[in-house]
Structure 1
Amino acid sequence: MKLILAIMSNDDSPMVSSALNKDGFQVTKLATTGGFLRAGNTTLICGCEDEKVENAISIIEKYSSKRTELVPNTAGYDMSHFATFPLEVQVGGAVIFVLDVDQFIKV
């Protein structure tokens, strides 16, 4: 058995969790905060059998879209308090961890 942790944008999580549920995966949703942009994101937790991991990953990849956003530049240069230029960063997509599960108990 495996445990999948998938960290993604709040914008993508409803479609991902819905698609996973439709395919028979049970998903737990956690509200989390990223360190780089300090923006909210979602971590989905899903336990599944080893042979279903690739299917779950493909669903997550399909519904986690990468996109470009402009964010404020917070670099501490001397000129930064006179004129701040936004930075273009890539957001979206997903970071996926697949962990071995030694024991699963449902009571």
Structure 2
Amino acid sequence: MKLIIAIVQDEDASKLLSVLMQQGFGVTKLATTGGFLKAGNTTLLLGVDDNRIDEAVNIVESVCKSRKQISTVSPSVSGGISQNEYSSYPIEVTVGGATMFVLTVDQFLKV
């Protein structure tokens, strides 16, 4: 048995949960925050039999597509110059997709 930890963008989480559950995967959803944009994301925990690892990974890959998004960032303050002397500027960033970790489970208990 393996544990897949999949970190996905909130925008993809609902559809991914639905597809995984339709295919018979047990999923635990955790609300998390992180990354460059400090935006909300979702971490999913999936306990998966060894023979279904590829199926689960393929589902995550098919639902969680990368896409471009415009984000506003502010330059960091340095050299004693105040933040007010800078303005924010838009940049294009890639968001979406998924970060997955596949871990071996030594023991699984359901009590």
- Which bin holds the TM-score, normalised by the shorter protein? over 0.9
- Tell me the residue number matched to 2:46: 46
Distance in 2, matches of 1:98 and 1:82, equals 43
Offset, 1:80 = 8.0
- Structure 2 segments unaligned to the other structure (5+ residues): none
Percentage of identical aligned residues:
47
Offset, 1:36 = 1.4
What TM-score do the two structures reach when normalised by structure 2?
0.89
Offset, 1:83 = 3.7
1:20-99 correspondence to structure 2 within 5 Å? 20-76=20-76, 81-99=85-103
Which has more strand, going by share of residues? 2
Distance in 2, matches of 1:92 and 1:3, equals 21
> Runs ≥4 in structure 1, deviation > 3 angstroms?
77-83
SS at match of 1:86: strand
The correspondence for 2:106, drawn from 74, 78, 102, is 102
Question: How much is the aligned-residue C-alpha RMSD, in angstroms?
Answer: 1.7
- Structure 1 segments unaligned to the other structure (5+ residues): none
Contact kept, 8 Å, 1:74 with 1:80, in 2: the verdict is no
Q: How many residues align?
A: 107
Offset, 1:71 = 1.0
Shift in alpha-carbon separation, 1:81–1:72, aligned structure 2, 3 A: farther
What TM-score do the two structures reach when normalised by structure 1?
0.92
- The one-letter code of the counterpart of 1:51 is N
Distance in 2, matches of 1:57 and 1:3, equals 11
